[in-house]
Copies of this chain bind each other. A is one copy, B any other.
Amino acid sequence: MAELTRFGISMGSALLGQFDQLIERKGYVNRSEAIRDLVRAALVEDQWERGDEETVGTVTIVYDHHTRDLAEKLTEHQHSHHDAIISALHVHLDHDHCLEVAVVRGSAEQVRRLADELIGTKGVKHGKLAMTTTGEGLR
């Protein structure tokens, strides 16, 4: 069980009023939860900027499955990093298009490199890396 600390912060009433509106619109139940989320997002961003710690990213790619040899190439890329790719989800978007999301674990640099490889594969139309976290230490 994580130990909880309680501390006070002061904020201008106008700023707080706007923040309360924002968190209501975003569906937060209270200020603590919204502020913890801002803090965690800042920590994850910093982690990715520094680039050394172990982290997790998801790589989303969209491609036309009719492209010759594409599926094999993607599988090959993924297997040559099999220790880094935890899992992958495949979705059929329409008659032609597939979307694949791979969950990748490693240093920020490794995850970025693998994302570049997958996104740069001939036939991949679009790709995006979402930089997230192992969750450790963010309690």
Contact = CB atoms under 8 A, between A and B. Distances in A.
Specify the main secondary structure of chain A where it touches its partner.
Answer: mixed
A8 B28 CA distance: 16
Interface string A67-88: 0000000000000000000111
A126 B31 contact: no
B5 A139 contact: no
A35 B2 CA distance: 21
A10 B5 contact: yes
Contact of A126 (B10, B96, B132): B132
B125 A138 contact: yes
Nearest to A19: B39
Contacts of A22: 42-43, 46
